[in-house]
Amino acid sequence: MQYRTLGRTGVQVSSLALGAMNFGRIGRTTQDEVTAVVDAALEAGINLVDTADAYSGGESEEMVGRAVAGRRDDIVLATKATMPMGDERNHQGSSRRWLVTALEDSLRRLGVDHVDLYQIHRWDPHTSDEETLSALTDLQRAGKIRYFGSSTFPAHRIVQAQWAARDHRLSRYVTEQPSYSILQRGIETHVLPVTEEYGLGVLVWSPLASGWLSGVVREGRDVTTNRSTFMPQRFDTAVPSNRARLDAVERLARIADEAGLTMIQLALGFVTAHPAVTSALIGPRTLDHLRSQLAAVGTVLPADVLDAIDAVVTPGTDLAAHEKNDTPPALLDPSLRRR
């Protein structure tokens, strides 16, 4: 396992990190299965575990808490807030009112007195940067979080938050967690240059593109991944963007074969090759999934393989731009771009 410094924090984290979104009812996993995955991940050298309050309505945090009990100090523990937690309108967002409550709830579910990294799951357009950063700074000074970061923020919001922290003399975001894979390379255009400029650690999610790069999605095969059962539209090859992805996957599979690599090794080796990326978050549901992803540890893609990937998916390009989670609201809601 390789280790890298998380931004400018001085904290060393593994180049592959364990994402816990599939823990609980989303992934149909039991506590015993989760504990086995966590045990194997830690034994392999993974030292960063990332979850969120919204994953299975808090169930993921509870399962992670049980799985890491007794070895809390050996891991970098990360969670997130801001996604809706129930129907109450104020049980979401990044206001001080909600973040204080959400963190207490997360600490209780995790069974710990602090988290190492607390992340704002999505940019909240209804809350000022000063409000959010002030609350996070106070929680940090209270010892309940060590650092805080953002997740899936547009590049301009990352910059705005850095300026707000400076202008109001508040602590700043030290990490960003964006979506990044061979098939979704849009962050190379704006987000990654910004994170490099401000020295942010980058923890990328969905490096296997929701299973498209796992090796099981191929031409002529039925798609039977867990994700396809509740997001079938993302795998319907009658949709042009999905057809483009499948065509790219077939070309990438040939590149992997010629290089003597699995698709997973190619995918994870690609994202961890970028100098701005600190860690790639893997999200296994089973031990077999974990083992296939751990096989990518230490994979270094030579320049000719990276060049071949660039020829399949142009740098800075998203093959499914409509699935991005950092699109400015005005591009999604016509009323916001009309006078």
Catalytic option among 3, 55, 118, 180: 55
Distance separating alpha carbons of residues 114 and 111, to the nearest angstrom:
9
Residue 205, classified by CB atoms within 10 Å of its CB into exposed (0-12), middle (13-18) or buried (19+), is buried
**Tokens found for residue 276:** 């701005």
Euclidean distance between CA atoms 37 and 24, whole angstroms: 13
Show Cβ contacts of residue 26 under 8 Å, excluding neighbours closer than 6 positions.
55, 56, 60
Residue 55 annotated in active site: yes
For the chain, give me the number of helices (H) and strands (E)? 12, 10
CA distance 102 to 144: 12
Cβ neighbours, 10 Å, residue 333: 10
Distance between CA atoms of 310 and 15, rounded to whole angstroms?
Answer: 22
Phi, psi of 210 (to 5 degrees): 60, 25
Residue with tokens 């994202």: 271
Show Cβ contacts of residue 330 under 8 Å, excluding neighbours closer than 6 positions. Answer: 336, 337
Contact yes or no for 25/56 (Cβ under 8 A): yes
Cα 87 from chain centroid? 25
Catalytic residues: 55
